[in-house]
A = this chain, B = another copy of it.
């Protein structure tokens, strides 16, 4: 770890290429805006790769200097990935040599001297590989990772930009629908299941726990992917809760598994009357169990992409961190750093304070930070006080987008003008 370096470079030679990678978030564009605005302050030309690393491979580059300042400012409140993202993981240097060479060729053709890759574990790995490649191929390019993921599963950083907003969406939505369920429980739904993202790590499921405070507040049951799902124990807990409270609200991670390792969602996927596979889901599977075994009326929700694109209910803390990592990444680049990533360091819980530090990409790449056991209650069905202490500051503060007269948020779509190609096509 090092302190943020002072940037002295100005109007530097060469260009910076920024790319978005993996699942997008409510605030990844806020990081993009900070990257571009910081480049503008340093008179550095920023290109963006269309659809992540694919754009770099295809030489499909976007000239961000052609976007008006107002459009870049508006990025900070626009969800999705403004330049397009992709789910493509580069293999090892040996296995994917042609693609790595192509990247260097594209960088060389456009005088790209800095590459900022905004993503999760896999993207940190790609940036790390590229950071080594420049030297091997005698082309000076610095690679900086920029953290982003709703899953909050990156190593080293205290939290990941993107997570605080999905956590806020989850806690707010759960608190709201619990009020609905309680209103009707006397004659209608007794058990409500909300499925949340996080296939391998239970951070989002844990954030649902912030919706309530007392023992009988919703959610009454949280199911984490870190623990084995036990049908009997789950149903017993639901039954007891309904008997005591009158209803039971469940927040379940999409990634919960049976003891044999099968995902609950997959195990309950069936076949419909047409012989087609029924798309699974943890929420309908759990609701089905409750209905069949406990004979209780159920409802379930699956917000899916709604949760990670809900910029309208973004966390201000998350937004500020998304902007801070974007700014720091450019400053690291200009200070000549390579193979590093700006991360968030928590310096105090109460009052909540954080700062940006520099981490080495090889400490981040390909690692996965799961929910620690100390964050999960002994019985496995809720979060602990330690988890609350960690999670609570991340959903603090509101940062609503501006709304138009029509009542919809004013989200921006960029022009995304293409940079003229200089190379032959390449099958990415």
- Interface set of A (CB-CB < 8 Å, partner B): 20, 23-24, 26, 51, 54, 78-82, 84-88, 168, 171-173, 175-184, 186-189, 192, 194, 210-211, 267-274, 276-279, 281, 283-285, 287-289, 291-292, 298-306, 308-313, 315-317, 392, 395-398, 400, 403, 405-409, 411
**Chain B residues near A187 (CB, 8 Å)?**
51, 54, 86-88
Least distance between A168 CB and chain B CB atoms (Å): 6
Cβ of B86 and Cβ of A186 under 8 Å apart?
yes
Cβ of A403 and Cβ of B407 under 8 Å apart?
no
Give bound CA distance, A411 to B173, whole Å: 12
Cβ of B168 and Cβ of A79 under 8 Å apart?
no
Cβ of B309 and Cβ of A306 under 8 Å apart?
no
Nearest neighbor of A53 in chain B, beta-carbon distance: B187
Give bound CA distance, A272 to B302, whole Å: 19
**Given A181-B305, A304-B300, A305-B299; A79-B278 close (CB under 8 Å):** no
**Oligomer: number of copies:** 2
**Chain B residues near A272 (CB, 8 Å)?**
267-270, 278, 285, 288
Nearest neighbor of A305 in chain B, beta-carbon distance: B177
Least distance between A227 CB and chain B CB atoms (Å): 21
Nearest neighbor of A185 in chain B, beta-carbon distance: B84
Taking A26-B176, A267-B272, A283-B302 as given, write out 10 further A-B residue pairs in contact, using a Cβ cutoff of 8 Å, ordered by the A residue number: A81-B184, A87-B187, A175-B409, A176-B312, A180-B309, A272-B285, A299-B305, A395-B406, A397-B407, A398-B400
Which one of B23, B188, B273, B306 contacts A301 once the chains associate, using CB atoms below 8 Å? B306
Pairs across A and B, CB under 8 Å, 8 listed: A51-B186, A84-B184, A86-B184, A87-B188, A176-B411, A177-B306, A270-B270, A302-B302
Nearest neighbor of A269 in chain B, beta-carbon distance: B272
Which one of B176, B268, B298 contacts A273 once the chains associate, using CB atoms below 8 Å? B268
Which one of B171, B184, B278 contacts A24 once the chains associate, using CB atoms below 8 Å? B184
Q: Output the residue of A26, A171, A304 with the most chain B CB within 10 A.
A: A304
**Chain B residues near A268 (CB, 8 Å)?**
272-274, 276, 278
Give bound CA distance, A272 to B284, whole Å: 11
